[in-house]
Amino acid sequence: MNWIPLTSESQLEEIITESNETPVIIFKHSTRCSISTTALNRLERNWKADEIGPIKTYYLDLLSYRPVSAKIESLLHVEHQSPQAILLQNGKSIWDASHYDIQFESIRKKLGK
């Protein structure tokens, strides 16, 4: 996976707009949490780019950029969790999961692949 760091609220607004062109995943990660690390590693291990098609993947370090997470909650109406994956399409959240429910297969199915 090619993670793009998500580091600002203005970048988040650009990402939401970008989701009108291509699906976007935001992974909210707490670098001090072993469950978050496990969920991230499992997603990366199971990721099959050829099965999911074009998608942008963004990584949010919650400890460094907590205000961005709060903005995600207010703009996308997705309650904060950690770890959390949020799938955006056409400017809105179409799927989200936290902890061990973050699975490649769920993302693939939600995109109809």
Phi-psi region of 77 (alpha: psi -120 to 50; beta: other; left: phi over 0): left
The answer on pLDDT for 113 being more than 90 is no
pLDDT band at 28; cut points 50, 70, 90: very high
Tell me the H-state helices in 1-113.
9-18, 34-46, 49-52, 66-76, 104-110
Encode pLDDT of 34-77 as tens digits. Answer: 999 999 999 999 999 999 999 999 999 999 999 999 999 999 99
Mean confidence (pLDDT) of the chain: 95
The domains found in the chain, sorted by start residue, are 3-110 (3.40.30.10)
What is the spatial distance between Cα 109 and Cα 113, in angstroms, rounded to a whole number? 6
Residue 100 pLDDT level (bands cut at 50, 70, 90): very high
Residue 86 has pLDDT above 90, yes or no: yes
**54: amino acid identity, one letter:** P
Contact of 56 with 24, CB cutoff 8 Å:
yes
- pTM for the full model? 0.95
CA distances from 106 to 9, 67, 87 (A): 27, 28, 10
Residues composing the chain: 113
